[in-house]
Amino acid sequence: MQERRRRLRAYRKSRRKFSCTVYGITLAWLVLALTQWLAVCLLKDFRDNVNKYYWISLIFFISAMLLFTMFIFIKRLRFVLCLNWLLSLLIVEFLILGLFALSAPTDWKNLIAWILICALMTSLFILLASILPQDLTLNVVILFVVAFLILSITVFMSMMHKIMNMSYSFYAYMVCIGLIVLMFVMYHAQTINGGRFAEMRLRDYLLASLILFNDFIIIYMLTIYPQVINSKKSTPSNTTDSYHSKDRSYEESTTTTELVINWG
């Protein structure tokens, strides 16, 4: 009995250490992403080059997905020291570079605000999964059924947005996709925290952090479209500016002509 209790305490201690390591690495990925996306928003020349060569971001994003797939299914890559860290850094950096083209049109204040909101939502659902008595890893079928039902709503809303030009339907689409991702955040959190039917290996801290970071990336990407649309609405168009400049030049020329006539 004493040996069993000792093993249980050792397991809980190692599992807590694993969870703290995973969340700490994920936080480091988020800070790395925030600093680079802010650089895109604040440096004009850098931003112009990103907009000009946007296809490079697409290449990096696809490369990140391919590397991530290899990292998941080829176990040997995850357990070779130095190689696993190198691949993890490449995956994260490629994901960050892949979002350069999407981050360039956004305002830096909105970018910081939405990143904090997305990080807060992710943290809240991780906390909810930790205290939830329901074992999502055991009843994963329920999770997939609910996700499938919400996915049906998202497809309908996306079609309404494209075909019927209903602007608010995209926000419903955004919320539904966000709920699906957050449900899987809860599932991933339970596998990380342990004490459930399915749990991650204690050596898979890099894979766990990459999964959480990818969940965050999906949630944040959903917020970019409203950011860009709102910034375009708040920025006056070039046509309006040129119209006002022409109007001012016309008034100035008329005033000058009147002064010449009066002087004569």
Using CA atoms, how far residue 50 sits from 3, 19, 62, 152, in Å, is 60, 36, 17, 35
Over the stretch 217-235, which tens digit does the pLDDT of each residue have?
999 998 887 777 766 665 5
Over the stretch 99-139, which tens digit does the pLDDT of each residue have?
999 888 888 888 999 999 999 999 999 999 988 888 888 88
Q: Give alpha helix (H) positions in the chain.
A: 2-42, 44-52, 55-73, 75-79, 83-98, 100-103, 108-131, 140-163, 167-193, 205-234, 238-263
Q: Are 94 and 63 in contact (CB under 8 A)?
A: yes
pTM of the model: 0.82
**How far does the chain reach from its first CA to its final CA, in angstroms?**
114
Domain ranges for the chain, please list them: 2-58+92-231
